Amino acid sequence: MRNKYRNTDSSIKAGDLILTEQPFAFVLSSKEQGSRCDNCLEKGKVLKCSGCQFVYYCGRACQRDAWGDHKWECANFKRVAPKVLPDGARMLAKIINRLYRDYSDLKSDTKRMDHFTSLCVVLYEFLKDISLPNTVELMGLYGRMVINSFMILDIDMNSIGTGIYLASSILDHSCDPNAVAIFDGKTINIRAIKDMPCLDWNQYLFQNVLIADENQLKHVHGAICLNKQCNEPVTIPWKEDCLLVRRPEKTEVNEPSNSKAEKQEENSTDLNKIEENGVDEKDALHCKECGTKYTDKHVDVFVKTMEFTHLHLQNMERASVAYVDVCQYCLDRQEGVLHPLNVMHAQTLDHAFDALIQVQLWDKACVYAEKLIPCFRFYYGDRNPLLGLLHLKYGKILLFKMDVEKALAQLKCAEKIIKMTHGDRHPLYKEQLLPLLQQAIMES
């Protein structure tokens, strides 16, 4: 495999390439079959493999390059046809084939075990000519596949496949990362987004952190974020007098005290808790700045709005499509109820922005882009590729609308981020951003 890594004790600058790696094993997502090459993952005209009639290639060069990996599975695809192999089973089969030339946690996870059992049935039929590992070893492989796999992303940061990258698997998740993973086809590039005194410990950001809570991260990736940003109050540098406050913690109820001094101390402690968290647990919820109290009715409206939004977001995720009218209805319900930086409000804006681009409603897309940028900066930070891509999309729309001055400002923001996260040789920078930036400069 053609891998490169930075091996140095010298300081690392933001934008430096730390690691370039080819996958140990990878699969193209089944939803992308027929529209992308199974080897280079590029979108375009593709032709079926004449042997198995299952995988697609963009040309003979890619077919030859992939033959070493595809040769053994081609005959197996042909044998099990017309049955279709799930992505997870195909990935496991590739790992087992390569190996051929956290156990207790999995056993207690019913959903994972059901998935694992169903994949085993498929694998035993698909790999009849290979002596499979025993169940315990196979479960270990499955666990490592789940935890260490990367979503392979296209140029728009959408998932198009899954890959196992051996060196890159040492990276840990963080919501305040010092590195980012970017893909060029199936090649993963790890770039620094912060200055580091030395190459010591790298943490990268899962791209779907906006929709992932702690339970999802632990369930899907086996990760728990221990970063200060997720555990302690932090100031928001780009928003004056804004503080991210931690959730009020439940405290044990102490035995009643007869001592006056102890009671005074207890009351003082309670006041300190209210000062720290902005919440009086003995009274109704209220704002510590203006004293406004939130009644049960306010709380009920908030909870119902959150549940309503969550339901529609899940439905759109399952359908892999966002609907303008559904997003608009959710945003109307959220008006005056959810904070502009509320995570579900941010998710709804994100879906609405993409939906409006699909139906080419540019004016409304610009309105939502303005609201979405602060959300992305809040959740992702100001050096994230998703924020750079948002600036790029917004700038492209503004340029189309001939609002050149605003377009140039957005494209400059995009250039600053994408050059750091992707590098100046990546197709997103070279083929999409630079031509738009040059056009905006010429027309300004």
**Average pLDDT of 273-292?**
56
Cα 331 from Cα 405, distance rounded (Å)? 29
pLDDT in tens, 31-79: 999 999 999 999 999 999 999 999 999 999 999 999 988 998 998 999 9
Nearest to 313 by CA among 349, 289, 272: 349
Q: What pairing do the DSSP bridges indicate for beta strands 285-286 and 243-244? A: unpaired
Give the rounded percent of residues in the chain with a pLDDT score beyond 70: 74
Q: State which H helix or E strand residue 4 sits in.
A: strand 4-5
Nearest to 130 by CA among 103, 95, 78, 85: 95
Determine the residue type at 379: Y
DSSP state of 30: G
> Dihedral angle at the C-alpha atoms of 328, 334, 336, 342, nearest 10 degrees?
-120
Least confident of 312-316, 346-350, 388-392, 425-429: 312-316
Nearest to 387 by CA among 347, 363, 414: 414
| Res. 222 pLDDT band, cuts 50 70 90 | very low
pLDDT at 107: 61
Q: How far is CA 80 from the centre of its chain?
A: 34
- CB 65, CB 39: distance < 8 Å: yes
Cα 129 from Cα 271, distance rounded (Å)? 71
- Higher-pLDDT residue of 81 and 203 is 81
Q: What is the pTM of this model?
A: 0.73
Side-chain-side CA neighbours of residue 292 (13 Å): 5
Residue count (the chain):
444
| Res. 232 pLDDT band, cuts 50 70 90 | low
Please name each of the domains of the chain with its CATH number: 1-23+165-221 (2.170.270.10), 28-146 (no CATH), 296-443 (1.25.40.10)
